[in-house]
Amino acid sequence: MFILRCLAAVSLCFTLSGCLLTAVVGTAAGVAKIANDERPLGQQFDDSTIALKIDARLIAEKDMPSRWISIDVINGKLTLTGYLPSQAHIDRAIFIGRSITGVQRVDSKLTIGEPTSTTILSDTWITTRVKRLLLNDKTVSGLNIHVETVHGKVYLQGVVQVAMERERAKKITHSVAGVTAVVDLFSTP
């Protein structure tokens, strides 16, 4: 019995250390993103709160496949990308976005339809590749740029300080195989 308790204690330590490692790494990544973001901390918090409220409202909405929608808020500007089954769904998502306090403008890039598994995989691969290239580039602050891909069309959003960073990010994105278009949604401080 003593041996079983010891094994349980040791396995618990390893389990908890894995959780601790995940928490530490996740927190470090979050702190790095916050530190490199060009927006003031209060604005970052406000934008995150707005995005969470919109997400919660879309999830609570009956007959709204919100899993296909990406919500991005930068300086109060809401951008919706992804897929919804009908124009009525898109109109409802836009209405919900506009109804949240703090949203200054809604930019809908939603597409009517349902993504196929092939499209989802392709878009995910493109997004991952673009993010990796942006993070490895010395000119671009990849932590400041949000990348979303819908049917090969890549949306770049975030706050950039100089035009050179904006142009470099677009050039990097265009270089990725499978990219059909690049949409510049950058803003400046």
DSSP state string for 119-154: HHHHHHHHHHHHHHHHHH-SSS-GGGEEEEEETTEE
Q: Which pLDDT score is estimated for 41?
A: 83
Contact status, residue 179 vs residue 150, Cβ threshold 8 Å = no
If pLDDT is split at 50, 70 and 90, which confidence band does 36 have? low
Neighbours of 178 (CB within 10 A): 12
Phi-psi region of 65 (alpha: psi -120 to 50; beta: other; left: phi over 0): beta
Please give the pLDDT value at position 37: 66
User: Distance between CA 182 and CA 185 in Å, rounded?
Assistant: 9
pLDDT of residue 121: 94
pTM for the complete prediction? 0.67
76-107 pLDDT tens trace: 999 999 999 999 999 999 999 999 999 999 99
Give the mean pLDDT of 159-175: 91
Reduced to 3 states (helix: H, G, I; strand: E, B; else coil), residue 84 is strand
